[in-house]
Chain A
Amino acid sequence: MAKITFDGVEVEVPDGTTILNAARKIGGGIVPPAMCYYTPLKGSGGKCRACLVRVAAGSAKDPRPMPKLVASCVTPVQDGMVVENTTSQQVLDVRKGIVEMLLINHPLDCPVCDQAGECDLQNFAFEHGVATTRYEEERRTFEKIDIGPYIQLHMTRCILCYRCVYTADQLTDKRVHGVLGRGDAAEIGTYIENVIDNEFSGNVIDVCPVGALTDKTFRFKQRVWFTKPVNAHRNCEHEKCSGRVVLWYKGKDVLRVTARKDEYGEVKEWICNTCRFEKKETADWTIEGPAHVDRTSVISANHYELPVVNPQVIADLPESSVRDLENNPPLKLGAGRQ
């Protein structure tokens, strides 16, 4: 076990744990953002640099600070390590720079992007970036391509996190897409317009942090914040498929099916394409109840879930405060980002 201090909070984690996962154990607003790291995907992380933190003391044995900021998602803890994230102005400034870098070649087409409302880049930019850009040059663009009947690749939006490549590597034995080219000309591709034809290919949509890989069956159907997520399951015949999903309703219609994500946006149980694309009737599923959506997420604008702080149980609250709480619910302590 190793004991570390993260933004002044002590936490004990098993040896080999990364700084990021130690921070997630603490939870709340001090957890560094992560755009490329994805716990279930071996080899992911280290690329986007969103999670850079300052190591003020390397370990109890060698308490010198590390010379550069480190990627918390791939750097293992050492006993006695002292880490600064939100308490370091340097980290916050660098993070602002990372947002800028990720956005200079991004089309900023959120108004027409299906990912808007549940986009990691949108949230990251909103929380850590600045409202203006210093970039005057032409942005990199690519043609949209269909990879198979269900998935559209909009490379212009891609931040090259490699998550979809690791997903294909991990879930399928015949990966056909990968990162081609290099530098800022690198792109996710199949090289010879191969179709990603695999029963688990749909999972690349869920792991994509931006709107680069989207569900064609949901395309332009609805803004996500007008839909209502409901947990459901079915007995799926595919061995690797969990059958545990979220159904996204508009009225009585299931507009899309996704895997379930945790508070850090990570899918822990994969689902197959049949469950995702072909089971869009309520009758196909056993309904469990409303899916939890983080209160800070735009999706919870629907108020379909009971507020975490329930004004009814606070007896003496004046009427005006109750109204105020209902309209502006307090942030739930310990919640991550959606």
Chain B
Amino acid sequence: MGRKLLTEHINVPGIDTFEVYRKHGGYRSVEKALKTMTPDEVVEEVKKSGLRGRGGAGFPTGMKWSFLAKPEGIPRHLVCNADESEPGTFKDRELMSKLPHLLVEGMITSSYALGANTSYIYIRGELLYVLRILEKAIAEAYANGFLGKNILGSGYDLDLHVHPGGGAYICGEETALLESLEGKRGNPRNKPPFPAVQGLYARPTVVNNVESIAAVVPIINDGGEEYAKIGVGRSTGTKLISACGHVKNPGIYEIELGVPVEEFIYSDEYCGGIWKGRDLKAVVAGGSSVPILPKDLILKTAAGENRLMTYESLSDGGFVTGTMLGSGGFIAMDETTCIVRNTWNFSRFYHHESCGQCSPCREGTGWLEKVLHRLEHGHGHMHDIDLLVSVAKQIEGNTICPLGEAAAWPVAAAVRHFRHEFEWHVTHAKQAAQPGAVYPAQGVLA
């Protein structure tokens, strides 16, 4: 049983109230930071922890913080990215709705480290009910002197506000999020300038994922070095994995980084295996945008080593035989899953969510979806399969923001690992177009 740094008390009755949360050690990190540490010491501690951004990119949080520009006389901001929208990912929703004070506490400690006096939590608009929970927690924190003027007599002031989005996956991209927070369309910005120099209202800004901010709490409480002892290599600490799809026990699991993938899928402590006694076919391990891997490659690397739940192990083999930890959205697919249909579904998602600002993504995502739709519905040609790879390649790397890659990778990976299934959709078009039709496993194919 691994340590639970974030979710230890998640099922304690009333933990969403200030009183109960405080009784269980809540807000200690704020006390420790504001009373005994300088802001730079807090940043240093986060650097030592080796914490990497939990939103998907895995960029070291401490390093991101140290990039923040600090020009005299210009306010700076911390913005929490609670726009959780990556298909397969639902950890932040769970964390915020059940442990709202953990995020509030993390925001206070982190804002102090960055010298921000006004901070925002940008939450996706669909989660208005979670916004209400957070606003209640924030009001309690104000009432108890943890927010507002002169927090705990330290002389540090902080206002914290929650801001809803309006239904747009792209606002999870940090500059689109800032545009949205400014009341505009969620069009990602050209970079440079980066948010650390010109972010919200053209002021220096750090944008961090909910889970990253929450992780600052145990890091400050126990020290960065303690945190770094958990995990393997550069994958330190614990990570929330949201398991979904065809696992027996979907839900969020806080794991110590380094758990073998096989154990995560099959152990009763975690997913409990595949539902309905079926066999596993494929896994999308880090949210819909990371490459899909067939069963043999998700359990073991190409070199035959056990695949671990770490940034490094999951990406072992690059995109040829590996994938990414991403946001921790772990989507398992059983043997009855049609990969072409699933790929089409993901492509439809990215087509729907493209902001439309830059041409490769605006046009390319729609193109991919239409070709996949044809293939899935029995109107595909053999040359469509290579066309998909080619169009994906034309999008990847050529767009303003990473949505281009997010749209391209799943398609390229599906063709890479399941080309036979795409071909079957052409050679057996009528059969494949039937609702629920699945490519027959090898050997069964007559």
Contact = CB atoms under 8 A, between A and B. Distances in A.
Direct contact of A and B (CB under 8 A): yes
Given A46-B190, A69-B397, A97-B398, A159 B359 contact: yes
Main secondary structure of the interface of B (DSSP, over half): helix
A69 B355 contact: no
A105 interface: yes
Contact of B359 (A45, A47, A135, A137): A47
B64 to A, nearest CB: 18
Interface string A254-268: 000000000000000
Interface in A141-170: 159-160
B149 interface: no
A104 B355 contact: no
Interface stretch (B315-323, B338-346, B362-370): B362-370
B168 to A, nearest CB: 7
Interface residues of A, number: 32
Interface string A37-66: 000000001111100100000000000000
Interface centre among B359, B360, B362, B371 (most CB of A within 10 A): B359
B355 A182 contact: yes
A46 B365 contact: no
Nearest to A97: B394
Counting chain B CB atoms within 10 Å of each CB, the highest count among A46, A76, A181 belongs to A46
A284 to B, nearest CB: 40
A221 to B, nearest CB: 31
A182 B394 contact: no
Nearest to A181: B356
A137 B353 contact: no
B400 A47 contact: yes
A137 B371 contact: yes
B363 A102 contact: yes
B397 A160 contact: no
B172 to A, nearest CB: 15
Given A46-B190, A97-B398, A184 B354 contact: yes
A313 B201 CA distance: 61
B359 A48 contact: yes
Given A49-B398, A160-B357, A183 B190 contact: no
A301 interface: no
A1 interface: no
Contacts of B234: none
Interface string A80-106: 000000000000001001101110110
A102 to B, nearest CB: 5
Contact of B399 (A49, A75, A160, A183): A49
A179 B362 contact: no
A46 B358 CA distance: 7
Interface string B146-179: 0000000000000000000000100000000000
Given A98-B360, A101-B359, A101-B363, A183 B394 contact: no
B185 interface: yes
Contacts of B352: 183
B71 interface: no
B93 interface: no
Nearest to A76: B192
Contact of A160 (B353, B356, B398): B356
A135 B367 contact: yes
Interface in A290-326: none
B387 interface: yes
A76 B185 CA distance: 25
Interface of A: 45-49, 52, 68-69, 71, 74-76, 94, 97-98, 100-102, 104-105, 134-135, 137, 159-160, 179, 181-186
**Shortest 10 CB-CB contacts between residues of A and residues of B:** A97-B394, A46-B190, A186-B356, A101-B363, A137-B370, A183-B356, A183-B354, A74-B190, A184-B366, A68-B397
Interface of B: 168, 185, 190, 192, 351-360, 362-367, 370-371, 374, 387, 390, 394, 397-400
